[in-house]
Amino acid sequence: MFGQASAFARSVAWLAAASLAAGCSKEAPPPQRPVPEVTVVTVRPQNIPYTPSFVAQTESSRQVNIVARVSGYLDKIAYQEGDVVKDGQVLFQLDPKPFKAQLEAARGELQSQQARFTTAQANLGRVKPLAQQNALSQSDLDRAQGEFDASKAAVYSAQAKVTEAELNLGYTTIRSPVNGLASRSQQRQGAYINAQSPDANLTYVAAIDPIWVNFSVSQNLAAKWREELAKKLLIEPKNQDYEIQIVLSDGTPYPFTGKINFADPSFSQDTGSFLVRAVLPNPKKDLRPGMFVTAHVKGALRPNAIVVPQLAVQQGSNGHLVYVVNQAGTAEVRPVVVGDYYGEKDIVILTGLSDGDQVVVEGVLKVIPGQPVKIVEPGAAGAAKAGAIAPKADAAKK
């Protein structure tokens, strides 16, 4: 009897211990996930400038090849190669002595023909009244008239040879036709220059004030531009008076602006783009032909544009998207179509957003579509985290 009671007591104790162990092993429910903190920007349409940028290259506004027009020996190179030269400045001097001799010979021929003409004129003056009185035959008059006309024509021909000889002598002194930079000489002193061969190319002078800036506009961009103009998404400046601002390769803005003075009416078959040319002042000669620069075309306006920070735009499988906080404080996905960059940190949204939308900028990675979020001031979430970590750091130092 006593043994049975003892066994029963042990069984009860074992069940109680098992129940207690079972109660202790039951897991507590997980803590509720905190509402993510985000910062937002409220969308407000605004008028912003539309300033497309292009890779451009500078070009001389007037580059002239300096070519010898007469043949002869090169006596002198009269300019500093690579330096700035002025209009009318002597660049080369050919040996003038043969051309002076030709000029003297032409002048002698002219004097001879003038003397012949004087004699023929006097003879005609004597023959004509005698022929009128029938003292001389008509053939005598015709002969005298022929000699007069021939000598007169010979004088014109001799005068033309004198003029030609004077021109050839003048061509031995080769001057710059423009103000600009003179390139290196293609010939050296003492070389024989043949005006009928490629050796006649001596150098070139490139005018650089003003200077041209060339860039190409692609067919796709031109079509997009026309479409946005038709839809009033872009507004051109009055009289299409665009302004060109360039930036040098080191990022320095060029202090002078220019205007477009030419647009090629045809697209290039090789590149599918058309050439646009602008002219800019270059008084300090900072720009040289062949330099690569960035050209910003200013003057167009994008009305009622919606601009958001680039950080707010995400790339999804079906395109770009942003997170918008609705009036209930819940995040929702909004597909958008992006346009051009605006400044260094913003981007234009063409479609998908409207006035008053609250777009998530910071905390995007913590957002779950359809779940609530907490809007805080920019930097508040980071400050809260820093405050939570600081005591632990202080305790570690102790």
Residue 385, helix vs strand vs coil: helix
pLDDT given at position 85 = 95
Q: What is the pTM of this model?
A: 0.72
* Domain final residue, candidates 277, 302, 327: 302
In a domain, 123, yes or no: yes
DSSP category for residue 253: B
Q: Is-contact 322 361, C-beta < 8 A?
A: no
Q: Is the pLDDT of residue 348 over 70?
A: yes
Does 56 lie in the same domain as 132? no
332 and 312 in a common domain: yes
Same domain, 215 and 276: yes
The reply to whether 119 and 162 lie within a common domain is yes
For residue 224, being part of any structural domain is answered with yes
215 lies in the same domain as 297: yes
Q: Say yes or no: 144 and 163 in one domain.
A: yes
Domain CATH number, residue 371: 2.40.420.20
Most confident of 12-16, 63-67, 340-344: 63-67
Q: Of 69-73, 263-267, 304-308, 389-393, which gets the smallest average pLDDT?
A: 389-393
135 lies in a domain?
yes
pLDDT tens per residue, range 279-288: 999 999 999 9
Q: For a pLDDT cut of 70, what percent of the chain falls above it?
A: 87
Looking at the 3D structure of the chain, how many domains does it have? 3
What CATH number did the domain enclosing 214 receive?
2.40.30.170
Peptide bond preceding 210 in cis form (omega within 30 of 0): yes
Q: Please give the pLDDT value at position 19.
A: 53
Domain limit, last residue, from 256, 286, 302: 302
- Alpha-carbon distance 188 to 191, whole Å? 6
Arithmetic mean of pLDDT, 130-156: 89
Q: Assess contact for 69 and 193: CB atoms under 8 A.
A: no
Q: Residue 63: CB partners within 8 Å, gap ≥ 6?
A: 180, 204, 205, 206, 207, 289
Report the pLDDT value the prediction gives residue 385, as an integer from 0 to 100: 46
Query: Does any domain span residue 2?
Result: no
Residue 11 has pLDDT above 80, yes or no: no
Check whether residue 239 and residue 324 sit in a common domain.
no
CATH classification of the domain holding 114: 1.10.287.470
Residue 389: inside a domain: no
Flag whether pLDDT at 9 surpasses 60: no
Best mean pLDDT range from 14-28, 206-220, 337-351: 206-220
Let me know if residue 398 belongs to a domain.
no
The fraction of the chain above a pLDDT of 90, given in percent, is 69
The answer, yes or no, to whether residue 227 has pLDDT greater than 60, is yes
Q: What is the pLDDT of residues 351-388, one digit of tens each?
A: 899 999 999 999 888 898 999 999 998 866 554 444 44
- Answer whether 341's CB lies under 8 Å from 310's CB: yes
Decide if 38 contacts 358 (C-beta within 8 A): no
Residues 287 and 318 in one domain: no
- How many other C-beta atoms are found inside a 10 Å radius of the C-beta of residue 377? 9
Residue 353's pLDDT is 94
Domain range spanning residue 350? 37-46+303-380
Whether 143 and 164 share a structural domain: yes
Evaluated on CA atoms 376, 382, 387, 388, the torsion sign reads positive
Residues 161 and 115 in one domain: yes
- Residue 86 domain-assigned? no
Are residues 309 and 235 part of one domain?
Answer: no
pLDDT of residue 3: 47
Residue 177 lies in a domain: no
Q: What is the predicted pLDDT for the residue at 201?
A: 94
- pLDDT for res 33: 72
Q: What is the identity of the amino acid at 251?
A: G
Q: Would you give the DSSP letter of residue 258?
A: E
Residues 234 and 320 in one domain: no
Domain boundary pick from 146, 171, 196:
171
